[in-house]
Amino acid sequence: MKILVGYNGGAVGDKALALARDFALKFNAVVYIVTSMGGGTSEKESDIEKVDRELALARKLMEEAGLECDAQQSVRGLSAGEDLVRFAEENDIDHIFLGIKKKSRVEKIILGSTSRYVILKAPCPVTTTK
């Protein structure tokens, strides 16, 4: 089994990681942790380094639990939702975990919603946590 965690740091991201870890332990799954860098190759060096540190900690959490894990940044320049769905399709992911942040209705209309996009377009089940 293959699990994808759409990871964007913070408390909500940590909850999604913990939930995915527990699920992966039950099903002896491989965990892929992906942070989508929407700016593609134009991302700031400081942002890239911050994400690298966060991904290293996320990878360590999985490895300490005895799980096989791959943690990476995706710099395709796609929206986070498109990026995660494409990753899931390309890698035959069986389950996706996402942390979601509360947004007002107006924010969802103007900015769109990564979790909504992934839930509607993913080729597999999606579990969210907040």
Reported as a pLDDT band with limits 50, 70 and 90, residue 104 is low
Query: How far apart are the C-alpha atoms of 126 and 24, rounded to whole Å?
Result: 14
User: Is a pLDDT exceeding 70 seen at residue 41?
Assistant: no
Domain ranges of the chain: 2-129
The CATH number for 2-129, chosen from 3.40.50.620, 3.40.50.20, 2.40.128.20, 3.40.50.300, is 3.40.50.620
Cα torsion through 24, 119, 82, 4, rounded to 10: 0
Share of the chain above pLDDT 90, in %: 62
Give the pLDDT of residue 62. Answer: 96
Reported as a pLDDT band with limits 50, 70 and 90, residue 107 is low
Comparison of pLDDT for 106 and 53, the residue scoring more: 53
For range 43-48, the mean pLDDT:
76
**Residue that the structure tokens 């389950």 belong to:** 95
Give the pLDDT of residue 42. Answer: 66
Nearest to 5 by CA among 29, 41, 39, 40: 29
113-118 own/partner pairs: CB under 8 Å, 24+ apart:
113/81, 114/6, 114/79, 114/80, 114/81, 114/84, 115/81, 116/81, 117/79, 117/81, 117/82, 117/85, 118/6, 118/81, 118/84, 118/85
CB count, 10 Å around CB of 76? 14
User: Is a pLDDT exceeding 60 seen at residue 109?
Assistant: no
CB count, 10 Å around CB of 104? 8
Entry pTM: 0.89
Give the pLDDT of residue 85. Answer: 97
For range 82-86, the mean pLDDT:
95
Give the pLDDT of residue 44. Answer: 77
Average pLDDT taken over every residue of the chain: 88
Query: How far apart are the C-alpha atoms of 87 and 79, rounded to whole Å?
Result: 12
* Range from 19-33, 92-106, 116-130 carrying the lowest mean pLDDT: 92-106
